[in-house]
Amino acid sequence: MRIARIQTAAGPQHAVESDGTWHHITDPFEESLRYTGGATTHSEATFLAPVTPAVVLGIGHNRTLNDHSLPIQAWHKSVHTVAGPGDAIVAARDRGTVHAEGELAVVIGKTATSLTAENALEHVLGYTCVNDVTNVDQNAVDERNFQGKAGVNYTPLGPWIETELLDPEQAGIDVYVNGTAKANSGTFNLPSTVVECLVYVTSWLTLQPGDVVMTGAPGTAVPVEPGERVDIAVEGIGTLSSIVA
């Protein structure tokens, strides 16, 4: 099932897709979804970030495809950076190279504390694509991941949440710039599994419905320039497109 958040005349509205139509729902986190009766056709839908998280976490891994020297760690990204599909990423000027990073994002569905390998995925609402935009040259003076990660619309999220992703540990991730493939990888190249990320994070912090965990870039960091279009395609979910301004 796909859950989106779409723009309507009455404001943002969560909706579930069926046969090319987005049927409006009251709350994506309820056990039994309630339909309002409203609907938007797919071609008329303007997609917003599918959730408005209180917490967005990134994962620093510790093995191949990542140069991080410490055990798995998490870090907070500002929720002010969350953007929808199509929103323009405002690339920082005179602050070095800007990277798009294609990642699988986990959307928490139920309050999650001290999860185990057995119950972790039961607390997940679903998965979406995320572009963890980064001023990569700041890393040398930014061990806390603040100034590299704080730009306007630096966290495009969407286009929707897929609740039935077949295997989040085996999802292909491709990154395109102006339609040209620049990276081809997947969550199978991540040093830690999605489950390991959730077990680690919730051993320290209780996550709430709508919180987002970005699982890391498995060789999917690609430099981008103003004027370019970047697409993050995650297998089984869809494609998140953004323009770099």
Site residues, its own copies (CB under 8 A): 54-55, 57, 60, 70-71, 73-81, 141-147, 150-152, 204-208
Q: Do residues 160 and 207 make contact, with C-beta atoms less than 8 angstroms apart?
A: no
Nearer to its own copies, 118 or 143 (CB): 143
Nearer to its own copies, 177 or 197 (CB): 197
Q: Do residues 218 and 235 make contact, with C-beta atoms less than 8 angstroms apart?
A: no
In angstroms, what is the minimal distance from the CB of 40 to its own copies? 28
In angstroms, what is the minimal distance from the CB of 230 to its own copies? 21
Nearer to its own copies, 23 or 95 (CB): 95
Nearer to its own copies, 39 or 74 (CB): 74
Measured CA to CA, the distance from residue 25 to residue 32 in angstroms comes to: 10
In angstroms, what is the minimal distance from the CB of 147 to its own copies? 4
In angstroms, what is the minimal distance from the CB of 42 to its own copies? 31
Looking at the DSSP bridge assignments, the partners of residue 229 are 243
Nearer to its own copies, 35 or 146 (CB): 146
Nearer to its own copies, 102 or 151 (CB): 151
In angstroms, what is the minimal distance from the CB of 241 to its own copies? 24
164 φ/ψ angles, rounded to the nearest 5 degrees:
-125, 40
In angstroms, what is the minimal distance from the CB of 188 to its own copies? 25
